[in-house]
Amino acid sequence: TSNESANTAPNAVAGGSGQNTQPGKQVTIGFSAPAADHGWMAAMTKNAKAQADEFSDVTFKATEGTNDVNQQIGQVETLINDKVDVLVVLPFDGKALTEVGRQAMDAGIPVINLDRVFDTPLAYRLWIGGDNYRMGVNAGEYIASQLKAKNITNPIIGEVAGIDSLPLTQERSKGFSDALAKAGFAVGPRVSASFTSESGEQQTANLLQSAPKLDALWNHDDDQGIGVMAAIDSAGRKEFVMVGGAGSRNMMDLIKADSGVVKATVLYSPSMASSAIALARLLGQTKGIGDMAEHDIPASITTYSAVVTKENVDQYLDVGFDS
Amino acid sequence: MTLLRMAGIGKTFPGVRALDQVDLEVAEGEVHCLLGQNGAGKSTLIKVLAGAHQPDDGEISWRGARTTLPSPVAALRLGIATMYQELDLVSDISVAENVFLGHEPARFGFTRRRAARDLTRTLMTRLGHPEIGPDREVGLLSAAGQQLVSMARALAHDARLIVMDEPTAALAADEVDNLFRIVGELTKDGVAVLYISHRLEEIRRIGSRVTVLKDGRTVAANLPADTPTADLVDLMSGRKVETVFPHREASTADTTREVLTVTGLSREGEFRDVGFHVRAGEILGIAGLVGAGRSEILETVFGARKPDAGHISVDGKPVRPGSVVAAVKAGIGLAPEERKAQALLLDLPVAHNVTLSSLPAYSRAGFLDRARELKDSKTTLERLELRPADPRRLVAEFSGGNQQKAVVARWLVRGCKVLLLDEPTRGVDVGARAELYRVIHELAAAGVAVVLVSSEVAEVLGLADRVLVLRDGEVIADRRADELTESAVLDMVMAGSAVTEAAVTPDDAPEETP
Amino acid sequence: MTEARVLDPKSAAPQEPPQQRRNLDLRLTGLLGVLVVLCVVGYATRPDSFLTEANISTMLRLAAAIGVVSVGMTFVIISGGIDLSVGSIVALSGVWMTTVATQSYGPVVMVLCALLVGLGCGLVNGVLISYGKIVPFIATLAMYASAKGLAERLSGRRTQVVTETGFSTFFRGDILGVPVLIWMLAAVFAVGWVLLNRTTFGRRTFAVGGNAEAARLAGIDVRRHTALVYGIAGLCCGIAALMVVARTTSGASTNGMFYELDAIAAVVIGGTLLSGGRGSLIGTLIGVLIFTVVGNIFTQNNLDTDIQNIAKGVIIIAAVLLQRTTARRRGTRAT
Amino acid sequence: MTEARVLDPKSAAPQEPPQQRRNLDLRLTGLLGVLVVLCVVGYATRPDSFLTEANISTMLRLAAAIGVVSVGMTFVIISGGIDLSVGSIVALSGVWMTTVATQSYGPVVMVLCALLVGLGCGLVNGVLISYGKIVPFIATLAMYASAKGLAERLSGRRTQVVTETGFSTFFRGDILGVPVLIWMLAAVFAVGWVLLNRTTFGRRTFAVGGNAEAARLAGIDVRRHTALVYGIAGLCCGIAALMVVARTTSGASTNGMFYELDAIAAVVIGGTLLSGGRGSLIGTLIGVLIFTVVGNIFTQNNLDTDIQNIAKGVIIIAAVLLQRTTARRRGTRAT
Ligand SMILES: Nc1ncnc2c1ncn2[C@@H]1O[C@H](COP(=O)(O)OP(=O)(O)OP(=O)(O)O)[C@@H](O)[C@H]1O
Ligand SMILES: Nc1ncnc2c1ncn2[C@@H]1O[C@H](COP(=O)(O)OP(=O)(O)OP(=O)(O)O)[C@@H](O)[C@H]1O
Ligand SMILES: [Mg+2]
Ligand SMILES: [Mg+2]
């Protein structure tokens, strides 16, 4: 659980070997992200900072996280005014921050667009992020295979989504229902929580009431997952298979223990923030990635949403974040 | 010529038939007086006339033509301006803004502030109070000052009929004269005045005709102003009421014991070096003009204001200054001047208002004994003739005079050693007033030290044993009441102001114009 | 000009029944009507599951935390104030009681910790407002920001999982077949009701909210009373924190989000005047239940969030219009 | 009665210093002091960048949208109301004007659309409150939910990107070297100030907020006035929506989040009484700037969010205490 791992070092660190670890030119990296109001987002910010601390040649400037795009634009502008060398921006809403990203690029500051994607590649030098659609697909496929294995023909499949008005939630849900449709299944009761354990608990409690019997449940986000688990626990339900999302340490521990409904989680790892900082430094020092033939850093990197199950969980424990 | 005729007016509030078949007729250029006990329906009637309430039945005609008054604007347009009983001013804004509220001088929607200010200055000067500047904040004026602003507003409307609901309740003698002078000027111009007051002598001074309401009905209309007081009272209350001050029973308490001692009390800009003492069973009256600082002194003794200097003690024990809690603990009670702002919880039942200062006595371990609370409140309300004497009714639903009685009732229930009464009879009708006087005497007889502030000099002299005369925040005389006369007191309080000969006692000639 | 005339002076106005009680009752009846209508809708749309024992228990447990917070909020609003910090205090109390250091002392200390943190924050609010003379909106807004920041700092923004099993076993359990949370909700409401309606403290709360100056001149220590009222609200937040932690088996700085809005809405829907001096805890309880039932119906019928939002707005207006009896009565004064 | 007073109107009549004005000035000076202190702190910690033209322009453009919303909120609060729906209205106006259908009509229609949607929502609020007699808190809470839901539905929860270049070019551009957004902020403040302080409409707003019953008896159509005040607030939201869309080049249902709290906080910090009847737009402007500067200082100095929250609470309290002159003046009565 998070309490046990509270004192352990940042779990995901990039750029551990090779020539690129040698100190180079001093680089100032500006970082802007939404409010670190839940575990995953907090892990993103924390990973970024931890990664920056690894390098003696990086000055890290993080702004106050905010969920108001107007505010975030102001902060990115402040960083531009500050003439940072590289910007790492995780926009609250990619489309809304596109213009300010462009502004930075126009001002000669390379922008690394983290996770939520800008509207045009003109606004970033590099995009690195997860694949929300694939995350849904992987969750759907895993659930479909489990149900097929049990020979269930007309399953009731629940979904606890994240904040419904975010594009990422919509993509995840779409991937999920597409994958299920491929198997001939459909999503049954669906609720949307807001990435907090409290909302996860409330929504799940209601969902479990409306579906007296479930065969499977996908929860988009392991932060709210703590609440989802609590609700399942109070309802005393264990007849279904549950799959998590994002990949928190807590959830991985549960998968490893294999004592409850949680059988898997689909990664959407905040380790991408560490990578973003490492790449930002290289951009600032105009270096490339050692193992690639290209001289330059690629324009886009998509992390893979691996499905973590009991079988492979040990391999992923290091990227599990504290929710 | 008849200006206004109201016939068969009826108005029902949930549970109360406030008006029932009321007839009223006002002629041009007359001062028509409306009389009635507390709760008779006077204020309700004038609110109907002002368009603030809609009558359930009856008809209104204005200059011979049937009309309806669906809103205050309609009434104002016809030329009916109203000074309400409960000062309906906006306390956060300036005098000028209040005077011209709703009819601001403006060009294309832009206020002409200079014009409003100048006109206000002229009006306040006409009212004899140029020192109340147009930019002053109304909430910071005394009750009398606010009454003047209300008056100025009525004048600003250039009305044909001005309705005044107890305009003198907050005024002292000199201000009353001032008001009557204005009324005289108005009627000379043919403006009619509908005048409500519980002070019958005023009616004789300025009234032309009298209409009497009782329990929401017109019981007498268009009587001459010189109808004998006894007859009027009889009509209003349906019984004979002793209008003179009741005979003092000798106090049973130890009347030599000094209960309240105040020495060297001062507050910057309000009063200086005020000292007095009140013995058990004694009634101390305080006389003075508006603004002389009487209310401030009472509030300071009560701890509601912190004195700059001075000592207060009760039964020889010093009372921590500036703390109401300490004062109440020491046995001091205050019935404040402004009942709405300072005393009443309008949204709560009367019973809760009455017991508010005595909660510990009505509770055990913090739990209320509600049955006893109701019973005692009811007894007290009945004793004060508060109508309807239903302790569960909300205070907001009572007429002005009855609300005033509820304030006094609070301290009757509490039973204190020192009772400070600031204008306790403001707005109280003749019958109930006699009752209040009797109650005050009974309290004194039971050994309570009473301090009474009243703008009616006759009341101070008639009730008090001793009188303190104040001028500009200083005590200028401290005498036995029977050594003083009304004119002597008025002379004293006005001495130093330019004329004293203009000071008029209430029994003077009915009409006077400057 | 007409002749002077004198009519019969003996006519009397009819006596009338006590107004206040009847109006309150009418208002509450209206509200209850709204709740019943909602339940009928719920039953009509999901006859199989809406009125089951399990669903009712779920709804009540959902209502528990916000219900308890609303009790405190009712006191604050009746006293003429407002408390925007309740959500943050719930978060802070929850985080504090679940930090490793606190958990190691066992369940009793955890419970005490939550209650004391809540009470403490409430009293700080109260003192700032009464002795510091800062308007409630601003003082509690400051507490909102500070308590949230402190909760984030204490928790390092991580969800603190409860490992103390005694705590979970008790608070997540049943007593006589009824969940502990529901007992707690009932108890807080009952105690709150008695305090508000049957004690001098409650009476003074109405007085302070109705007219603070009059209350002061009646000898009530308005400042101390105000401080205590916010203390009560804080304590309620502490109790709610226990409930949220029990339900989610964790404390997090994100707990209690939007509680301030939800609680104020429930209190106001319940007929308590935002300007103070008037209100009822039963109304608040019904208000809380209305919002809970609405949410449950939405989920049970699998509605989209956007439709839910639109419908929520419409339901709020409808609920108020349905219980507008009072507004009409006071119309003459308040229009 | 003194002869002198009556007979000689011009006599000395000691013209007292206008109380009200002086106090307001004192209060505003205190607030301005807070702002200056913050700027000094900003300069001291980041002498290289804080007072640069670029940073000031950034701050002002950031303040623009919330500033305009706060102007409308000031009117509402002075009139004795509250508006919780401003954020949702900003979102709805922004979404509506950026839907493909609207954008195809060109920039003028887009601008009109935002303004009309804002005005319309505001008037609905106003009508519900004044003619429907629903308390402002509840009516605007309902609008908050409904407008948000409608914005989500209209946009399909997708961010609507502005493809209309004319719009972006104008609103993201400069006039005389000053960004259009800053001109707009200045214009809205100037018009608002004149409307509030120099027209009968504005002065009546104070009266309605100070004592609605007195205003009604004075012949003011309080209900129509109230409806209009909320209309103004809605219109301001429409203007703010233009600004947000210009800044983000997109409309989204998540725009305007927490604007209600931020705007109310700025207005109240600025010295406007939440109970109505008293207030100042200049105070509101300073309030908005204080919050903007605080945020900027935090960003510039790279502070942790949790510390920022704690500090924000402390700063709010400090700002209020620093301008407490008024509270002290009224202290004698209000203690
Ligand atoms: N808004 C109201 N709701 C309910 N009852 C009311 C309301 N206003 C007045 N009443 C009732 O109507 C009756 C007449 O009241 P009104 O104020 O007209 O009396 P009044 O003659 O002006 O008395 P006073 O001399 O004390 O001012 C009273 O019984 C009062 O309680
Ligand atoms: N002639 C006046 N008319 C109206 N207001 C005045 C006048 N003179 C002074 N004031 C204002 O009234 C304040 C004091 O009035 P206050 O009512 O407290 O005095 P008071 O002696 O208690 O009179 P009363 O109780 O009869 O109204 C002064 O501070 C001043 O602002
Ligand atoms: Mg009356
Ligand atoms: Mg006085």
Asked if residues B286 and B470 have their Cβ atoms less than 8 Å apart, the reply is yes
Relative to the alpha carbon of B470, which ligand is closest? 2
Strands B317-318 and B474-480 turn out to be unpaired
For chain D, the farthest-separated pair of C-alpha atoms sits apart, in whole angstroms, at 78
Q: Is B311 helix (H, G, I), strand (E, B) or coil?
A: strand
For atom 19 of ligand 1, the residue with the nearest CA is B39
User: What is the distance in angstroms between the Cα of C309 and the nearest Cα belonging to chain A?
Assistant: 12
Burial A252-276, CB ≥16 within 10 A → b, else e? bbbbeeeeebbbbbbbbbbbbbbbb
pLDDT in tens, B356-410: 999 988 998 889 999 999 999 999 998 888 878 889 888 988 887 888 889 989 9
Q: Whose CA is nearest to atom 17 of ligand 1?
A: B399
- A39:C62 CB<8 A: no
| Domain boundary assignment for chain C | 50-257
Q: In angstroms, what is the span from residue B298 Cα to ligand 4's centroid? A: 9
Mean per-residue pLDDT of chain A: 87
Retrieve residue C224's tokens: 């101390």
- Residue C307 pLDDT > 90: no
Q: Which two tokens stand for residue A66?
A: 């905010």
Show the beta-strand stretches assigned E in chain C: 5-6, 160-161, 174-175, 178-179, 250-251
pLDDT tens-digit series, residues C189-242 = 999 999 999 999 999 999 999 999 999 999 999 999 999 999 999 999 999 999
What residues of B are in contact with residue D206 (Cβ under 8 Å)? 90, 92-93, 97
Cis peptide before A155 (omega within 30 of 0): no
Alpha helices in B222-365 (DSSP H): 229-237, 294-301, 324-329, 350-354
Around Cβ B178, how many Cβ atoms within 10 Å?
Answer: 24
Beta pairing, strands A27-32 & A58-62: parallel
Of all protein residues, whose CA lies closest to atom 7 belonging to ligand 1?
A: B397
Q: What is the DSSP letter of A224?
A: H
The order of strands in the sheet holding A216-219 is: A187-192, A157-161, A216-219, A241-246, A262-267, A307-309
With touching defined as 3+ CB pairs under 8 A, do chains C and B touch? Answer: yes
Task: Give the per-residue pLDDT at A218.
Answer: 96
Of A205-209, C81-85, D115-119, the poorest mean pLDDT is in A205-209
Q: Report CA(B56)–ligand 3 centroid distance (Å).
A: 19
Sign of CA dihedral A158, A161, A164, A167: negative
**Amino acid C189: pLDDT:** 97
Residue B436 burial (CB count, 10 A): 20
pLDDT band for position B241 (cuts 50, 70, 90): low
Task: Report the distance separating Cα C134 and Cα C130, nearest Å.
Answer: 7
Contacts of C22 by beta carbon, 8 Å cutoff, 6+ apart: none
Measured between beta carbons, the chain D residues lying within 8 angstroms of A73 are 62, 247-248
Q: Which two tokens stand for residue D24?
A: 């307001």
- Cβ distance of A35 and D295 shorter than 8 Å: no
Full-model pTM: 0.84
Q: Is the pLDDT of residue B14 over 70?
A: yes
Strands in B50-186 per DSSP E:
57-62, 65-67, 80-83, 106-107, 110-111, 161-165
Annotate D84-126 with three-state secondary structure: CCHHHHHHHHHHHHHCHHHHCCCHHHHHHHHHHHHHHHHHHHH
* Cβ B285 vs Cβ B298: under 8 Å: no
Ligand 2, residue B295: give the atom nearest the CA: 22
CB B298 within 8 A of CB B318: no
- Residue ranges lining ligand 2, Cβ < 6 Å: B 129, 141-145, 172, 288, 290-296, 337, 455
The widest CA-to-CA distance across chain B, in whole angstroms, is 72
Residue with the bigger pLDDT between D276 and C316: it is D276
- Single-letter residue type at B166: E
Please give, rounded to a whole number of angstroms, the shortest distance from the CA of A204 to a CA of chain D.
22
**d(C-alpha B436, C-alpha A234), whole Å:** 67
pLDDT (mean) for B434-454: 88
Q: Find the helix or strand (DSSP H, E) in which B238 lies.
A: none
Q: What is the phi/psi pair of residue C76, to 5°?
A: -60, -45
Write down which chains contact chain D via at least 3 CB pairs under 8 A.
A, B, C
Q: Which of B54, A20, A195 shows the shortest CA–CA distance to C335?
A: B54
Residue B428, φ and ψ in degrees, nearest 5: -95, 135
Strands B317-318 and B332-335: unpaired
Nearest Cα to B277, choosing from B268, B264, B267, B292?
B264
Range(s) within chain B of domains with CATH label 3.40.50.300: 2-237, 258-495
- Residue of chain D whose Cα is closest to the Cα of B107: D199
Sign of CA dihedral A210, A215, A219, A223: positive
CATH pick for B258-495 out of 3.90.700.10, 1.10.645.10, 3.40.1350.10, 3.40.50.300: 3.40.50.300
Tokens describing residue A105:
């690029």
Average pLDDT, 10 consecutive residues per value, chain D (335 residues): 33 41 68 89 88 88 94 96 94 92 87 96 96 89 91 84 86 90 96 94 93 90 96 97 89 85 88 87 94 85 75 78 52 30
Q: Given pLDDT bands bounded at 50, 70 and 90, which one contains residue B10?
A: very high
CB A36 within 8 A of CB C194: no
* Closest ligand 2 atom number to CA of residue B270: 29
| Ligand 1 neighbour B355 (Cβ under 6 A) | no
Cα-based distances in Å from A100 to A89, A93, A119, B173, C275:
10, 12, 11, 74, 44
Q: The CATH number of B2-237 is which of 3.10.580.10, 3.90.1170.50, 1.10.760.10, 3.40.50.300?
A: 3.40.50.300
**Contact at 8 Å (CB) between A272 and A114?**
yes
Q: Please state, in angstroms and rounded to a whole number, the distance separating the CA atoms of residues A125 and A29.
A: 14
In one-letter notation, the amino acid at residue A225 is G
How far is the CA of C172 from the CAs of B134, B469, C168, in angstroms? 67, 73, 5
The whole-angstrom separation of Cα A281 and Cα A52 is 9
CA B20 vs CA A236, C3, C13: distances in Å: 69, 21, 9
Q: Which one of B397, B425, B430 would you pick to mutate in the ligand 1 pocket, going by the greatest count of ligand atoms within 8 A of its CB? A: B397
- Among C20, C78, C194, C217, the strongest candidate for a mutation testing the B interface, having the largest count of B CBs within 10 A, is C217
Q: How many residues does chain A have?
A: 323
Position D209 scores a pLDDT of 93
Q: What tens digit of pLDDT does each residue of B319-357 get? A: 999 999 999 999 999 999 888 888 999 888 999 999 999
Mean pLDDT of C80-95: 94
- d(CA D201, nearest CA chain B) in Å: 7
Indicate the Cα dihedral angle A192, A194, A200, A203, nearest 10°.
-40
- Cβ contacts (< 8 Å) between C100 and chain A: which residues? 3, 6
- Asked if D157 contacts A170 with a C-beta cutoff of 8 angstroms, the reply is yes
Q: Give the whole-angstrom CA distance, residue A40 versus residue A323.
A: 7
Pick the residue of C19, C78, C332 with the most B CBs within 10 A to test the interface with B by mutation: C19
Q: Residues with Cβ < 8 Å from A71, sequence gap 6 or more? A: D62, D295
B431 lines ligand 1 (CB under 6 A): no
The confidence band for B174, taking pLDDT boundaries of 50, 70 and 90, is confident
- Contact of D4 with chain C, judged by CB distance below 8 Å, is answered with no
CA nearest ligand 2 atom 24, residue: B290
C-beta separation of B334 from B302 below 8 A: yes
Closest Cα to residue D79, out of D188, D212, D194, D217?
D212
